[in-house]
Copies of this chain bind each other. A is one copy, B any other.
Amino acid sequence: MSVPTFNTAMLNWGRLILDGIPFVDLSEASTALEANVSWLEFWSAKADHYEELGTRALADGLELSGGYWLWLASLCCQYAQFLWFDDRREEVQQRKVDLYDRAAPHLSPPALRVELPIDDTFIAGYLRLPPGPRDGKVACVVLLGGLESTKEESYMFEQLLLERGLATFTFDGPGQGEMLAQVSLAPDFERYTSTVLDLLVTLEELDPDRIGVLGRSLGGCYALRSAATDDRFAACVSWGGFVSVEWEAEPPHDRASWQYVTKTGSEEEARVQVEANLDTRPLLPRLHCPTYVLHGALDEIPGEQVDLIRELAANAPLTVVVEPLGDHCCHNLGPAPRVAMADWLSIRLAR
C-alpha cells in the first residue's frame, strides 16, 4: 500500500483533513481524479450529499448534526472552488457562503453573522462565543484567511480556541470570499481588521484588552500588518505568513490565485500589485504586542521571511517556531502545531 503525499496543491491531505474534510472523501477524491472526474464536480457532489444529510437532520430536529453536515457541505464547496478558475467558481463560492450561513445557528457554539459597513460595502463576519457559564468577559481572537482560504474554513481552528474559553471572530477582507466581488486585494487590509476591532471592543461579552489576531498564510501577513498598525491587539500569530512576496518562489497555482484576487489581466500585472500592496516590512517596527511566528522549513515561502521578521519586528516579544519538517503552514505535521498556537493564544490572552 502506498502513502498519500502532501505536496499536491489541491489534494493537500494534511490541510484538508485538519480543516475538517473526512479522510474517506479525500480517498474517494484521489480515485476520482485518477479516473479524470473533475475536481469541482466531485466536491460539488459531496456538498450535495452533505447538504441533503443536513437538511434532513434539521427536519428531524437533530440540530447538532444539521449544523455539522451543512458546515461540511460548505467546506466541500470551499475546496471545490479554491483553486478553480473557470466561470463556475463564483457560483460555488456563493453556495459555500449560503451553506455556512444555514449551518451557523446550529453550530456548537453557534456562529452569529455580522455585517459591518465599510466604505460603500460591508464586512461579513461571524462571532462565536465559548459555551458554558462565563466568568466575566472573555478574550477573543480575530481569524484571518489567506489567498484562497476564507472565513468558512477556520471552523476547526475556532473549535480549538472556543474549547479553551476564547471567543472567535472571522471575516472576509479584500480579495477574499464574500468581499472579492466588491473589493479585490488591497494595500489596506489592516483597515478592515481595525473596523472589526471597533465593533469587538464595544461588545459586553468581550474583554477589549484581550483581543488577539491570527492569520494563516497570506493571512499571517495581514495579521502582522493589523497588529502593527492597531495597538489594541494584545497578541498576534503569523501562521505560515510572510512580510514580502517573493514572486519567483510562488508556485503556478498561487500565481493564478494572485491574478484572480487582484482581478488583473496577466500574471505580470498581478505581480506588480501584489509586491506593492503586501510589502509589510516598513510596518514591522511598529509591532509591539507578543507575536508568534510559525514557519515550516519545507515551505515554498523562503525561511528568509522569518529572518526579516526577526530583524524588523525588534520592538515586539517574538516567539518564532520553525519546524524542520513542516510544509506550508505545517499542515503536514498533524494537530500539534495548531494546538501549540491555540495554547499560546490562551496563555497570552489569559486574564
Residues of A that sit less than 8 Å from B by CB = 1-5, 8, 11, 13-14, 17-18, 22-25, 27, 30-31, 34, 53, 57, 60, 62, 64-65, 68, 108, 131-133, 163-164, 332-336, 339, 343, 346-347
Contact = CB atoms under 8 A, between A and B. Distances in A.
A108 B164 CA distance: 10
24 contacts: A1-B2, A1-B4, A1-B11, A1-B30, A2-B30, A3-B27, A3-B30, A3-B31, A3-B34, A4-B4, A4-B27, A13-B27, A14-B24, A17-B17, A17-B23, A25-B334, A60-B347, A62-B343, A64-B164, A65-B339, A131-B131, A131-B132, A132-B132, A133-B133
Nearest to A16: B23
Contacts of A1: 2, 4-5, 8, 11, 30
A249 B65 CA distance: 36
A71 to B, nearest CB: 12
Contacts of A163: 64, 108
A336 B53 contact: yes
A149 to B, nearest CB: 19
A30 to B, nearest CB: 4
Listed residue (A24, A62, A347) with the most chain B CB atoms within 10 angstroms of its CB: A24
B65 A343 contact: yes
A57 B23 contact: no
Nearest to A53: B336
Considering the complex of A and B, which 4 residue pairs feature the smallest CB-CB distances, nearest first?
Answer: A2-B2, A24-B334, A22-B334, A3-B30
Contacts of A62: 343, 346-347
A3 B3 contact: no
A269 B133 CA distance: 57
A1 B133 CA distance: 48
A233 to B, nearest CB: 22
Nearest to A69: B339
